[in-house]
A and B are shown apart, each in its own frame.
Chain A
Amino acid sequence: AQSVAQPEDQVNVAEGNPLTVKCTYSVSGNPYLFWYVQYPNRGLQFLLKYITGDNLVKGSYGFEAEFNKSQTSFHLKKPSALVSDSALYFCAVRDEGSNYQLIWGAGTKLIIKP
């Protein structure tokens, strides 16, 4: 069965330091991978996606993610964290064989401290 795991409930990073939010997945077929961010009392905002091609994907707000097929991972990264990056981050995957469902991780709360 398809699944997404975000092993960390919360990640704490000092402002200016690099950040990584981890995601691993399990799907049949080729994965379509996504990162979304959710601010308090707001809907989800699309950050970036991997469909095919270069394993390093660049997205909004300076975020990037690295697809690693052998480790079935899609970790979200940013070279220098901002306090405004503090939010809830979700990883999601869509199985190539499915037109419909996004399977979501439970989310990781990112806290950037000044």
Chain B
Amino acid sequence: ETGVTQSPTHLIKTRGQQVTLRCSSQSGHNTVSWYQQALGQGPQFIFQYYREEENGRGNFPPRFSGLQFPNYSSELNVNALELDDSALYLCASSLFSSDSYEQYFGPGTRLTVT
């Protein structure tokens, strides 16, 4: 059973640029959630994808968008990067069911916007 993987590990971008972060879900999981974790803070929910559709979104602007593919891997896209977007971006996979809610996290992508 493979765990959740994310790429790249680190990324440096310039304000105004666009970035794509990638996540591979844990085997058998059909749901992926993305979180933003600023330094010294807890994770903030960005959105969740289930069966290739967004089925929940936190308080993030539309320039944060995502995709989920048939193999349940996922992408997070951020347009028009701002300095405040600098953070650790975490992907978590889970099995969407009524009995199991624990999420399994990847190691994260550290994004720095200059």
Contact = CB atoms under 8 A, between A and B. Distances in A.
Interface in B80-114: 90, 92, 96, 99, 101-108
Contacts, number: 59
Contacts of A56: none
Interface size class of A (residues with CB under 8 A): 20 to 34
B102 A46 contact: yes
A99 interface: yes
Interface in A44-91: 44-46, 49, 51, 90
Interface residues of B, number: 26
B56 to A, nearest CB: 3
A42 B106 CA distance: 8
29 contacts: A34-B101, A42-B107, A43-B90, A43-B105, A44-B43, A44-B90, A49-B102, A51-B99, A90-B43, A92-B42, A94-B101, A99-B55, A99-B96, A100-B33, A100-B55, A100-B57, A101-B45, A102-B33, A102-B43, A102-B103, A103-B45, A104-B43, A104-B44, A105-B42, A106-B40, A106-B41, A107-B40, A107-B41, A107-B42
Given A44-B105, A102-B103, A107-B40, 13 more contacts: A32-B101, A42-B107, A43-B105, A44-B43, A46-B104, A51-B99, A90-B42, A92-B42, A99-B55, A100-B33, A101-B56, A102-B33, A104-B44
